[in-house]
Amino acid sequence: MVALCNAFAAKGYVTASISYRLGVDFFEVIAGNGEEEFTYATLRGTHDLRAAVRFFRKDASGDNLYGTDTNIIIAGGSSAGGFMALHAAYLDRLEEVPEEITDIEELGGIEGNSGNEGYSSEIDMAVNLCGAIGDTAWIEQGDTSLISMHGTEDQTVPYGTGDVEIFGMPVGEVHGSGVIDEKTTAAGVEHDFYPFYNADHVPYDALSGDAEHEAYMDTTINFVKTALYNTFFGQITSVKPLSGTELFTVFPNPAKRNGLWVTADPRAVQQIVVTDIKGITIRRIEKVEAKQLLHLEQGFYLVNIITSNNTVQSRKVIVY
């Protein structure tokens, strides 16, 4: 999150990577109360996120030490933080609180007791990176705008509907970004969605230090940046992931030298051919894999695939 915050601070956003309460009672999980423990943990984190939003509104009403524009407040997070952002955006009525929470009034209701009372915790957009929500029924027409990104092969937080596990034990059914995309579409909620095809949990981890994760981080920053700009300021062209009729994608674009990834459907693709701007073949791949790294020097390229029925699809890419 710090890497993402630094990237967006460099683009002019006021950013903060907040702390919030984590964890569950191990012995309660072992005793079979895992669902209740998980639900309470989610609520505690959501309360703390809402308190952080109130903190910035409180500061902005006085000295405004951080230079915050409270006309646009965006809450986002990765994995558990994605849960918090989604619940802060859509768990917004007392009647929606899960039945496992039996003392919601004592806990401060929806807003919580984490401080900065008297200020709004409302957000203008949520950014969900590899998170999930407890109930998609909370997402209603006219609700908060959303940006989501999620690996389709996520083994930690389900891409669709599935169980979250703690210590290897299922503790509750949640709905990942694939299902959330369907719900926001049906409800007419403004949203942008990017599936990381064939990727596991948090593929953009900046701390890993390898080229693949750095490429995913570039894609994450560029997609979120474009979606934010389109929502709040104007319209710019963004590179979208595969649609149902597309057989491959390249990312990031522009890409760093030796850091261009190609995902393709090996069942439908015979070859991948890379040409330079003059049409000279630079690379030909006849044994196509689902995901592969292309080592290219700085320049402009055309990445072409030849399908099993001899049609061609192409992408223009820039390597710097």
Sign of the dihedral through C-alpha 8, 12, 13, 19: positive
Q: What is the pLDDT of residues 202-222, one digit of tens each?
A: 999 877 777 788 888 988 998
Counting beta carbons within 10 angstroms of the beta carbon of residue 279, is it exposed (0 to 12), middle (13 to 18) or buried (19 or more)?
exposed
Cβ-in-10-Å burial (0-12, 13-18, 19+) of 134 comes to buried
CA atoms within 13 A on the CB side of 297: 3
pLDDT at 13 over 50: yes
pLDDT reading at 108 higher than 60 = yes
Of 61-70, 161-170, 202-211, the one with minimum mean pLDDT is 202-211
Let me know how long the chain is: 320
pLDDT of residue 39: 96
What's the pLDDT band for 235 if we cut at 50, 70, 90?
A: low
Distance CA 172, CA 134 (A): 8
Candidates 2.40.70.10, 3.30.70.141, 3.40.50.300, 2.60.40.1930; CATH matching 248-319:
2.60.40.1930
What 3-state class would DSSP assign to 45? helix
pLDDT at 237: 46
pLDDT score, position 250: 86
Residue 147 has what pLDDT? 97
Please, which pLDDT band fits residue 277 given cuts at 50, 70 and 90? confident
Which amino acid is it at 202? V
Confidence of residue 246 (pLDDT cuts 50, 70, 90): low
Looking at the chain, the domain(s) classified CATH 3.40.50.1820 span 2-232
Answer yes or no: is pLDDT of 49 > 90.
Answer: yes
- What phi and psi, each to the nearest 5 degrees, are found at residue 225? -55, -50
Q: Give the chain's radius of gyration (CA, Å).
A: 22
- Average pLDDT, integer, range 99-126: 96
Cβ atoms 299, 317 nearer than 8 A: no
Mean pLDDT of 124-129: 98
Instruction: Return the number of other C-beta atoms located less than 10 Å from residue 298's C-beta.
Output: 9
If one compares 159 and 26, the residue with the highest pLDDT of the two is: 159
Average pLDDT over the chain, rounded to an integer: 90
What does the pLDDT average to over 187-201? 93
Query: Percent of the chain scored above 90 by pLDDT?
Result: 61
| Overall CATH class of domain 2-232 | alpha beta
Q: What is the mean pLDDT of residues 236-249?
A: 54
Residue ranges in the chain assigned as alpha helix (H): 2-9, 26-28, 34-60, 80-90, 177-187, 211-232
Indicate the range of 38-47, 115-124, 163-172 predicted with least confidence: 163-172
Q: Where does CATH 2.60.40.1930 sit in the chain? A: 248-319
Please say if the pLDDT value at position 236 is more than 70.
Answer: no
